[in-house]
Amino acid sequence: MQVYTSDTPTPTSGRIKVGIAEFAVDSDGNTLTTSGLGSCIGVALYDPVSNVSGLAHAMLPTANEGGRTAKFADTAIESLLSAMQAAGANPNRVVAKLAGGSNMFDFTSATDGTSIGERNVDSARETLDRLGIDVVAADVGGEHGRSLEFDSENGDLRVRSAHTGDQTL
């Protein structure tokens, strides 16, 4: 298990917390969790053969906006995949699940009128496509927050929302 953050959280009862602008990689069967996904995008990657999994919680679409690698969807995904590969994952087998990217506010910051949530989803999908990773499930958009629990043993992503209830992707 590796967590990429300024702090080094330790597993508690088989759970690894991934904070905002962080990602974690696990091959020990822990559950990776994150909460507070509004316009942020949660990206869960999983290699079903090696059981190496990773979860990123990215705030912004692209790194050209400056800052930490895990803060941005594009560089967070690239770094997450690299860390998973170092832990034994084969990039050719990795699949992705996405959640978040909500339109939480009544304004847009892009000149094309798209919300930060929409741009986060677009950036994640474009990066995954460029890396040859299939998105096998997604719960994105809307106007509600989400919390995630990613089971690194089987690749199940539980999405919890007060607005829409729980679902497993």
Helices (H), the chain: 73-86, 116-130
Average pLDDT, the chain: 88
Percentage above 90 pLDDT, the chain: 73
Residue of 40, 44, 87, 99 marked catalytic: 40
Q: Express each pLDDT in 47-94 by its tens digit.
A: 999 999 999 999 999 987 566 788 999 999 999 999 999 999 999 999
**Is pLDDT above 60 for 1?**
no
| Tens-place pLDDT, residues 119-136 | 999 999 999 999 999 999
CATH code for the part of the protein at 2-168:
3.30.1330.200
The residues with which 147 forms a beta bridge, in sequence order, are: 160
40 flagged as catalytic? yes
User: In the predicted model, is pLDDT for residue 20 greater than 90?
Assistant: yes
Strand ranges across the sheet with 146-151: 15-17, 31-37, 146-151, 157-161, 165-168
Provide the β-strand partners of residue 158: 149, 168
End-to-end alpha carbon distance in the chain: 23
